[in-house]
Amino acid sequence: MSTNNYDYIFAGGGAAALSLLVRMQKEGLLRDKKVLVIDKDPKVHNDRTWCFWEEKEGLFESCVIKSWDKIRFASPGYDAKLNPQPYKYKMIRSLAFYQYCKDVISQNSNIHFVQDAILHFENDVVVTSQGRYKGSLIFNSILQNLNKDESRYHYFLQHFKGKFIETEQPFFEEGVATLMDFTINQNNECRFMYVLPVSSTKALMEFTIFSENLLDDSEYETALNNYIAEKLKYHPYKIAEEEFGVIPMYNQPFPKRLNANVFNIGTNGGASKASSGFTFHFIQEESKQLVAHLKKHPTLSNYNPKGKGRFQFFDDVFLRVLREKKVPAFYLFNCMFRKLPAYLPLKFLNEETSMLEDLKILRVFPRMVFMKAAIGEFLKLRVRRAE
């Protein structure tokens, strides 16, 4: 089997790969390069919904189908509509994103696509079910399996099922995004609902869980259907689309390199935030850093990505608190959104806060619970649950 040669290969063609590819193309980094994107999926359907917040218009602003100036946070005993300015909460559907990226990429005839399943890597070669492709630099976004060390790290999953609901008559308050509704049964976990209206008659209603294990399919369906029925009551509706996803919330570092030629990106490179699962924003930050480096250096041999610093420790402590279950998970978010200006929790979750702002945020959490968790995390003590 012959081997085809490329300057850059993108193993996987999802959000991380396409975000980086588009930024490289716009910066002229691919002008004289031969580039290949390999993915088993043709990316012609809405298979993802990405939500995030930012202050200004971003690179993919034309893909945003809806943005909200106000967010709603609800938990037992507290329900409020909040103004998170200067942030706006935004939604991108994957099909619009894929099409935008393809339009940008189509301007360069040196960028090629192969629809195929990736089997493994052999140093600088990507082996698929139908071919072998050699790359001077390979960006890999295919999620790797970690050798888990549960004595040192915490392993949560963010898993969710959502339905796009269409009502016959106007029903949804389209100017307000329900970011978290914790008023559902928590089952001693962290469970909440999103309600994201894209119009007065259409919204994404999504059941999300932070836990160590997935549920049975019927449990997602029952919880979501019960919530929809309770909210819509006698309002006729239909289900336009459904989606399901799982995001790792691991504080074990994902290796940045598979070998000297293969550089891991996206969730596979640790872009998903351990304490929340948020990914799209951090993919963009990662791609900006990579492009800035490649504009000055032809390789990544001396690339040192910006570390998470103190935010990594904050994530570690938060996950330990979730595992110990000494306070209800919803109470932790309630502390932030009830006691702080609405923009500050969002800024903190985006890892954009100053140390002074961090101190303001940390003060609202239950002090002894977090102090003991911080000591436990620092000393890597065994987790003791309060169950």
DSSP 263-291: EE-GGGGT-S-TTT---HHHHHHHHHHHH
Contacts of 320 (CB under 8 A, 6+ apart): 154, 373, 376, 377, 383
**Would you list the domain boundaries of the chain?**
3-64+90-145+253-294, 155-249, 310-379
pLDDT by residue for the chain (387 residues), tens digit each? 567 899 999 999 999 999 999 999 999 999 999 999 999 999 999 999 999 999 999 999 999 999 999 999 999 999 999 999 999 999 999 999 999 999 999 999 999 999 999 999 999 999 999 999 999 999 999 998 899 998 889 999 999 999 999 999 999 999 999 999 999 999 999 999 999 999 999 999 999 999 999 999 999 999 999 999 999 998 999 999 999 999 999 999 999 999 999 999 999 999 999 999 999 999 999 999 999 999 999 889 889 888 889 999 999 999 999 999 999 999 999 999 999 999 999 999 999 999 999 999 999 999 999 999 999 999 888 777 655
- CATH pick for 155-249 out of 3.30.450.20, 3.30.9.10, 3.40.50.720, 3.40.605.10: 3.30.9.10
d(CA 222, CA 43): 30
- CATH pick for 3-64+90-145+253-294 out of 3.90.230.10, 3.40.1190.20, 3.50.50.60, 3.40.50.150: 3.50.50.60
d(CA 116, CA 283): 24
Go through 117-150 and write b for each residue having 16 or more CB atoms within 10 A of its CB, e for each that does not: ebeebeebbbebeeeebbbebbbbbbbeeeeeee
Are 3-64+90-145+253-294 and 155-249 equal in CATH topology?
no
Cβ contact 194:184 at 8 Å: no
pTM of the complete model: 0.94
